[in-house]
Each structure stands twice: as structure tokens, then as C-alpha cells.
Amino acid sequence: MKSSIATVFGISAILATLMPGTRLWRFESNWRDILNAESIRQAPLVLRLMESIAWRRLAPDVKHEFVIAGFGEWGKADYATAAPADGRTVLAVQDTRFTLNGKPTFLLGISYYGALGAPEDFIRLDLDDLQRHGFNWLRVWATWGPFDHDISVVDAQGRPREPFVGRLKWLVAECDHRGLVVDVTLTRGKGSGCLPDLERHQRAVETVVNVLKEHHNWYMDLANERDVRDDRYVPIDEIRSLRELVRRLDPSRLVTASFGGHDLSEEDIREALLTAGLDFLCPHRPRSAESPGQTKAQAQECLAMMKAIGRMAPVHYQEPFRRGYSQWEPLAADFLADLRGAMAGGAAGWCLHNGQQQGTAQNRPRRSFDLRDQRLFEQLDEQERAVVARAATEVRSLPRLKVADTGRLLIAEAGEPFLWLGDTAWKLRTIKPDEVDYVR
């Protein structure tokens, strides 16, 4: 690694020299051999290291509180530099938005249900790809047992199961260091990977919270699609009981319980926020060709109903439509329209949902539903990859603005002035001296 870093900084001097009296560079005759050197082949490791650590949050150890001896002499080749970081990512709620480390942030995520069955190398590569494309959260199931392979963190009694408890703890810690949020989902039901009743559900909640309590980059979906009237159904009084349990164990932990397959009524919202005391809403909207065009209005309606009942909270589109689910196969344009609608309607998060392909041999590709043999990004199809490539640009292109207290300019949610380049350039030519503070 040390040799690679030296090569990165010294490559121009090794490969080429400036020809005297000219502005031309002459490549040395052995440049091909140099490019095949071991230090050059290791250079991608430097890139991976740089991408995997939030360098902006590192603090130089100038007082030698971290490396306390043997660090050498400043300015000499043997001097050891260090920069300890707390590795903490803190997720919180501010009115109708999420915040990461205090900054309002739109959660742009992806389904990663079968993570606990994936090799660590697969996960690292997938997380690298997610971050490179601007995604900042993923949804992982703590109760997951499809394809006759149970990778649940807990058994049907709610008791911890190894090695899956350890894998979940590793994954959340890895995401914590990377600045990523993790959705940890439980589900009520019967059979492999499900919790059959309240007592076992409570035990599972306690298991997960105690294992992950030290991290602040995750939230819990207490019960996936809890209002669907089948084995998944969890009455609202039981949701309230589970929510109170989490509050006793970990008072600052964010908690939700998702809705299944419908848009929300005022009664749905009242029960979730006021009766159960959930921190935000996760409606799983209907999956049809009309859905992308409805998301903006539905998000706005949710916010309006929250205002009417006197309790505001984020609307998080945690599980929209996906490919391979029905005869309607949404295209990249449909996903992106849904994302734009969510943002324009005031939602706080959105997910690129993905899963098994119905009607194919062994339901392949299984995408996030099964990550044992192939990592997620190897299973996404052309349309899904197009969404991955474009989604973060859509998020960045729609800043949420408000009028400053002065009434004279627009500012972003974090308080920074918003200047539209074309108009601003013209305005700067005509501005008066006493208006300088306005532009500043």
C-alpha cells in the first residue's frame, strides 16, 4: 500500500521527463514495464480506501492522543500520521425531513433484503457501488427465510441466531463508518423467518435493539405491512406495545411500521403517529402503471392530513413497485418519475425496490431476495442500472428552498443562500453598494 501511494504521487516523474528547452514530455522506453509493476497493480486499493472512509470527518492527531509513541519526527520520512474518527452516523428526524449528522437529507436507498446471506466481499462491493452512485440507505430484513434458506437474526421464539446476529452487527457497523443508513425490518407471520405472536415479536425486538444499540445509523420497521389482513397483521395496540418497548430500551431510536399496498387515510395516519407513537410513515403504495403519476399528490395529501391532526413526520417511500412482480414491468422512466413525484410531494425518502423475477426458472434473477451466489449489482437488469446511474442526479436537481427571514432571498433547508447562476450573473452587474449584504 505504501508503495502504491508513492507511485500515485510520483508517476509522472517515473514514466516521463520534460525534454529540455521544450514543453514536450518524453515517455521513457520502459513505461509499459512500470505500469505492470506490483505497486501499480495495487493502486486500486488506494482508491478503495479513499472511497470507503469519510475523510472530511477525520481529525489530525496533532496532539498525539491516538498514536502516543514511536511516531517519528515531523517532516521526516519515518513520521507516522494518524487521524482518528468516531465513525458515527446519526440519523434523526426534523419535522418532515430526515437528518444525517444534523443536516437535512433525502434518503435515497435500495432494497437489500438478503444481506445476511451474502459474503462480506459481496457486501463491500455493493456498498462501494451504492455510494459511488449517491445512495445513502439500504433495507435489510432481520427475519428472512425464502428459497428454503433461513438467514434470520432471530428464531421463531425471537431468540438470537448465529452467525446472523454477528453479520447484522458487522453490516450496521460497516454502514456506520461509511455514512450509510440501514433499515432493519421485522415481520409477523408463520413459518421460516417470521414471528408468530406478540410475545416472540417483543423478544425479537429486544434482541435486535440490544445488539445494535451502540449505532445511530439505523431505524427499525417493527412489522412489515402490518395492516395487511393475513399472517402479517399486527393490531395497532401491539404496535404501540412494541414501540414503547423500543423506547424503554433505546429512547432515541427511530421506529416505524409499514403499511401494505394502499394509500393512507387520515385514520391510518392518526393511529400510526398518535396512537402508536411512530416516528415516521412508510406507506407501500399500489403497484400499477398509474402509480408513478400519483405519488406526488399522495405525498402531499399525507402531509396535509398530518397537519390536520397536529403531528408532522416524514413520509418515507420504503417499498414502491419493482420489476419482476407482475405483468407490468416498470421501466427506468417509471422509477425516476416516481422518485421525482416523491420529492416534489415533500416525501423524505425513496427506495429502488427490487426482488425475484416471477415466471422464470428458479425465479432468477432474485436480486436482493437472494445474495448468496451473486451480489446485487450483478443481478440488476439494464433498466434498474439506468435508475441507479440517474437517481442521485434527480435528488440533487430538486433542492428544497424557502424564503429567508429577511424576505429578500431564497435559502436551502440548511440555511445556505440559493443563487441561480444565469439570473445571478446578470444581477451582480447592476447591484448597488448598499445591497451587498443581500447577496452575501
User: How far apart (Å, rounded) are the C-alpha atoms in residues 371 and 143?
Assistant: 15
pLDDT at residue number 438: 39
- Map residue 322 onto helix, strand or coil: coil
Contacts of 359 (CB under 8 A, 6+ apart): none
Q: Are residues 366 and 417 in the same domain?
A: no
Q: Are residues 25 and 99 in the same domain?
A: no
Q: Are residues 389 and 407 in the same domain?
A: no
Phi-psi region of 349 (alpha: psi -120 to 50; beta: other; left: phi over 0): beta
Q: Are residues 43 and 120 in the same domain?
A: no
Instruction: Name the residue range of residue 32's domain.
Output: 2-52
pLDDT at residue number 428: 47
Residue 165 lies in a domain: yes
In DSSP notation, 113-141 reads TTGGGS-HHHHHHHHHHHHHTT--EEEEE
Residue 75 lies in a domain: no
Q: Are residues 169 and 269 in the same domain?
A: yes
Q: Are residues 388 and 407 in the same domain?
A: no
Number of structural domains in the chain = 3
pLDDT at residue number 201: 98
Contacts of 320 (CB under 8 A, 6+ apart): 284, 285, 287, 291, 295, 335, 338, 350, 351, 353
Q: Are residues 409 and 271 in the same domain?
A: no
Contacts of 380 (CB under 8 A, 6+ apart): 354, 365, 367, 388
The number of helix segments (H) and strand segments (E) in the chain equals 15, 16
Residue 58 lies in a domain: no
pLDDT at residue number 166: 98
Contacts of 162 (CB under 8 A, 6+ apart): none
pLDDT at residue number 435: 46
Q: Are residues 171 and 308 in the same domain?
A: yes
Q: Are residues 379 and 433 in the same domain?
A: no
CATH number for the domain harbouring residue 298: 3.20.20.80
Residue 345 lies in a domain: yes
Q: Are residues 360 and 224 in the same domain?
A: yes
pLDDT at residue number 73: 76
Q: Are residues 370 and 421 in the same domain?
A: no
Low-confidence ranges of the chain (pLDDT < 50): 1-5, 7-14, 56, 422-429, 435-440
Q: Are residues 17 and 149 in the same domain?
A: no
